[in-house]
A = this chain, B = another copy of it.
């Protein structure tokens, strides 16, 4: 019943890996592994749910469609409202980056 977020991390990844850790009522917790991948140029995440995300290992940058860009290191967390268009502009190519994302419904 106990699982570990950092166990069995691959040394390299051909593509990002998304894994649900929890699926609840109106909430989903997901582990994301990246290794140099970015959102393809011109593509955006535009999500129905809010996303609270924390980077726990590695490094990344997130860009918003207003041109702002933020850098994330281990422990950094940010809340991305539903339909706030964003993309991952950089992830560390030297190591696996581990994200933990909490997706949750906007208030009715």
Contacts and interface: CB of A to CB of B under 8 A. Distances in A.
Interface of A: 1-7, 21-22, 24-27, 29, 50, 52, 54, 56, 70, 72-79, 100, 102, 104-108
Copies in the complex: 2
A75 B4 contact: yes
A77 B25 contact: no
Contacts of A1: 70, 78-79
B27 A77 contact: no
B76 A21 contact: no
A77 B26 contact: no
A1 to B, nearest CB: 6
Given A6-B74, A24-B105, A27-B104, 17 more contacts: A1-B70, A1-B78, A1-B79, A2-B70, A2-B78, A4-B73, A5-B76, A21-B77, A24-B104, A24-B107, A25-B104, A25-B108, A26-B26, A29-B52, A54-B100, A100-B100, A102-B102
